[in-house]
Amino acid sequence: NAGVTQTPKFQVLKTGQSMTLQCAQDMNHNSMYWYRQDPGMGLRLIYYSASEGTTDKGEVPNGYNVSRLNKREFSLRLESAAPSQTSVYFCASSEAGTGVHGYTFGSGTRLTVV
Amino acid sequence: GDSVTQMEGPVTLSEEAFLTINCTYTATGYPSLFWYVQYPGEGLQLLLKATKADDKGSNKGFEATYRKETTSFHLEKGSVQVSDSAVYFCALSGSGGSNYKLTFGKGTLLTVNP
């Protein structure tokens, strides 16, 4: 089925470890996004890529880096994980240049940092 | 900047009750407005949308009308079912240069009891 695929679905890290969350979409969307979801905070934008070859910071970028590998793939890297990064991470994609059509979301990665 | 305020939950209803979840927004220009739904353990799914003032979005018995004069986009359903239990997010897509980013409210948890 067409959509956004995130891996892994669950991950436990120790403080200071690094990891990369993977995201791929097969809808030929130009724009991709990483959000984190925390209780009582809703969804907060970490980084986004409006088009292949560009990335920009969102609302909460500290402690994260991203790579837009190609049009399909957008990865999120935690270089040195901290307990404050315990969260559910969602990747999303949308058609270029407009939010009229909204996003398509992946099913999320539940990350725990101990 | 853009912002979305939605009623805090949790909201608990009996089956067949009437549902209203309030959502108001602050944005410049003419944003598009969305409601997303998140079922337990899943990602967000687009429920309905409206792209201009006085538009009514509808899907699966849910409705919301874009009211520019009151900057509101309240979600309603005439008769809820147990299967409607989920978290509901109101969101907006800004106009102009930021029109590919969605700003979300904090979400409202709805529980429907048989």
Backbone conformation region of residue A10, classed left if phi is above 0, alpha if psi is from -120 to 50, else beta: beta
According to the model, what pLDDT value does residue B96 have? 59
pLDDT for position A100: 66
Q: What is the pLDDT of residue B94?
A: 73
Which residues of chain B make contact with A104, given a CB cutoff of 8 A? 46
Average pLDDT over residues B19-33: 92
pLDDT at B110 over 90: yes
A83 phi, psi to nearest 5 deg? -55, -30
pLDDT in tens, A34-51: 999 998 888 999 999 988
Instruction: Place B99 in a pLDDT band, splitting at 50, 70 and 90.
Output: low
pLDDT greater than 80 at residue B100: no
Q: Give pLDDT, residue B1.
A: 82
Q: Considering CB atoms only, which of A40, A41, A97 is closest to B100?
A: A97
Distances (CA, A) of A44 to A13, B3, B57, B64, B66: 21, 12, 25, 24, 24
Cβ-defined contact of A98 to B107 (cutoff 8 Å): no
pLDDT over 90 percentage in chain A: 79
Helix (H, G, I), strand (E, B) or coil at B1: coil
With CB atoms and an 8 Å threshold, state whether A90 touches B42: no
- Per the CB < 8 Å rule, is A43 touching B104? yes
Q: How far apart are CA A32 and CA B5, in angstroms?
A: 24
Comparing CB atoms, the residue among A40, A42, A94 nearest residue B100 is: A94
Contact B44 A103 (CB under 8 A): yes
List residues of A whose CB lies inside 8 A of any B CB: 4, 31, 33, 40-43, 45, 48, 50, 58, 90, 92, 94, 96-100, 102-108
- How far apart are the CA of B32 and the nearest CA of chain A, in angstroms? 6
pLDDT < 50 positions in chain A: none
pLDDT of amino acid A97: 53
- CA A25 vs. chain centroid, Å, equals 12
